[in-house]
Amino acid sequence: MFRVTDRPLDLQELVDFVTDPEAGAVTTFIGTTRNNNEGRKVIALEYEAYPEMAEKELIRLGEEAKRRWPICRMAIAHRIGPVQITQPSVMIAVSAAHREAAFAACRFAIEEIKRIVPIWKKEVFEGGEVWIGTQSGEPLAPGKRP
Amino acid sequence: MFRVTDRPLDLQELVDFVTDPEAGAVTTFIGTTRNNNEGRKVIALEYEAYPEMAEKELIRLGEEAKRRWPICRMAIAHRIGPVQITQPSVMIAVSAAHREAAFAACRFAIEEIKRIVPIWKKEVFEGGEVWIGTQSGEPLAPGKRP
Amino acid sequence: MKVKVKLFAILRERVGAGDLTLDIEDGSTVADLWRRLQQTYPKLNVPGIRLLYAVNQNYVSPNEVLKDMDEVVFVPPVSGGEACFA
Amino acid sequence: MKVKVKLFAILRERVGAGDLTLDIEDGSTVADLWRRLQQTYPKLNVPGIRLLYAVNQNYVSPNEVLKDMDEVVFVPPVSGGEACFA
């Protein structure tokens, strides 16, 4: 289950999706809007996606995780639009026979989402707003996937 | 929230408990009964606790996690009694400003639970039952906590 | 030939539109198209921004040669980074 | 003096009881009590088992000297390990 949606996210739905009789471990990650960032008082975050490509990239990173670790199932849901303080913007659930793989694949998924999945985040704070992004990343090598 | 209970566990309750406006990340771990172990066909797991001491040890490991990592809140619930295939026996939720601490503290919590919290697991499998435990651990050094 | 350009996030806001259709010369690369867009919309020059490039929903190098009716996206930094006030 | 012993898991099953109250000599250690119990209940000799020791819900060394009405638990391996068929 790899989904980009403008509706609130439901953790139990993801956990139910990855439930598997072969699994002894489920890990989840939830990204939430926190009330401060780099000294700014945050009001909300607003997410924008290139939805068709974002879902393809989520599927691709799920396949890559299955190649790297012995996991059972993975589910990712990312919300777009405004996300208020304490509310979830992204949820990941991973099941595996053993916890090592479940932790590693869950961590991999959130790092990849933040590295490569075309979803952008605008921070609305007291006094202004700003698109979050790095100015110092490596440029894309010609012909390489980032 | 550190709880040992004979009732089914509720992940959302733990996540709600750790929700914090200062948190940008929540990690959870769920331990579930899987249908096989070391070649045996598992029917169910049965957990038994020394409940008063188990809750004290859970509180203690939560305090230790807060000393080691900048986390906001932690919740742990462990079920006792029979736990069927796919059902959760233990749930951990950790919130933190940043995901690194949330992942590290969640992993620490489950490792500590399996190392030191007085809760025992009997595996009921096709053809018998067995208490799960190691025969090859280090003996406890005199005067040291394990 | 024609290509479709989709703009997102800071680039969409600066142009004031999310979808463009452009006539370009045969043999144009992704980088050629980006230079052309920057001339038409000088506000797309965000100092220091690191872009990735996608054609038909796959990441490509800036040297990728475009085909008729390709869907091209210039991908600003995704959500993992630090604030970019540029 | 008297001490309370709680038995759990494999030890409880082997003795057939979870709570015992025993009279022991002043100055007895946790290890002394364990030897005494093994004499009374030979089935407590689980080959190769690694025990931890808790008094009043805190882990202690086997050399801990007991006090009147202490609650003593011999802690078999907890749930993280491999199967112990002994």
SS3 of B59-107: the string is HHHHHHHHHHCCEEEEEEEEECEEEEECCEEEEEEEEECCHHHHHHHHH
Q: Can you give the pTM of this predicted structure?
A: 0.90
The arithmetic mean of pLDDT across residues B59-83, rounded, is: 97
Task: Using DSSP bridges, classify how beta strands D52-55 and A119-125 pair: parallel, antiparallel or unpaired.
Answer: unpaired
Nearest to B139 among D50, D58, D75 (CB): D50
| Chain A residues with CB-CB distance to C59 below 8 A | 116, 140, 145-146
What is the pLDDT at residue D45?
A: 87
What is the pLDDT at residue A142?
A: 42
What is the pLDDT at residue D79?
A: 66
Rounded to whole angstroms, the Cα distance separating D31 from D36 reads 9
A136–C contact, CB cutoff 8 A: yes
Is residue B42 very low, low, confident or very high in pLDDT (cuts 50, 70, 90)? very high
- Closest-CA residue of chain A to B90: A25
Q: Do B32 and A22 touch (CB under 8 A)?
A: no
A13 C-beta neighbours (distance < 10 Å), count: 14
DSSP bridge pairs for A4:
A78
| Chain B residues with CB-CB distance to D82 below 8 A | 38, 132-135
What is the pLDDT at residue D50?
A: 84
Does residue B134 carry a pLDDT above 80? no
Q: Is residue B75 a contact partner of residue B14, using CB atoms and an 8 Å limit?
A: yes
- Closest-CA residue of chain A to C46: A135
What is the pLDDT at residue A146?
A: 58
DSSP D52: E
Helix residue spans in A3-124 (DSSP H): 11-18, 51-68, 99-116
Question: Percent helix, strand and coil across chain C, each rounded to 5?
Answer: 25, 30, 45
What is the strand order of the sheet C2-6 is part of? C19-23, C2-6, C71-75, C52-55, C58-60
What is the pLDDT at residue B146?
A: 58
Per-residue pLDDT of A23-47, as tens digits, reads 999 999 999 999 999 889 999 999 9
Does residue C81 carry a pLDDT above 90? no
Establish how many alpha carbons lie within 13 A of residue C44's alpha carbon, considering only the half-sphere containing its beta carbon. 21
A61–C contact, CB cutoff 8 A: no
* Chain A neighbours, 3+ Cβ pairs < 8 A: B, C
Does residue B142 carry a pLDDT above 50? no
Q: Do B22 and A36 touch (CB under 8 A)?
A: yes
Per-residue pLDDT of D21-54, as tens digits, reads 999 999 999 999 999 999 999 999 888 788 999 9
Per-residue pLDDT of A51-110, as tens digits, reads 999 999 999 999 999 999 999 999 999 999 999 999 999 999 999 999 999 999 999 999
Helix residue spans in C1-86 (DSSP H): 9-15, 30-40
Is residue D77 very low, low, confident or very high in pLDDT (cuts 50, 70, 90)? confident
Q: How far is D39 from chain B (nearest CA, A)?
A: 22
Average pLDDT of chain C to the nearest whole number: 90
Is residue A139 very low, low, confident or very high in pLDDT (cuts 50, 70, 90)? very low
Q: Is residue A71 a contact partner of residue A96, using CB atoms and an 8 Å limit?
A: yes
- Closest-CA residue of chain A to B33: A24
Does residue D9 carry a pLDDT above 80? yes
What is the pLDDT at residue C79?
A: 66
Longest dimension (CA), chain C: 38
Q: Is residue C16 a contact partner of residue C4, using CB atoms and an 8 Å limit?
A: no
| Chain B residues with CB-CB distance to D83 below 8 A | 37-38, 123, 130-133
The arithmetic mean of pLDDT across residues C17-30, rounded, is: 95
Is A in contact with B (3 or more beta carbon pairs below 8 Å)? yes
- Closest-CA residue of chain D to B119: D78
Does residue C54 carry a pLDDT above 80? yes
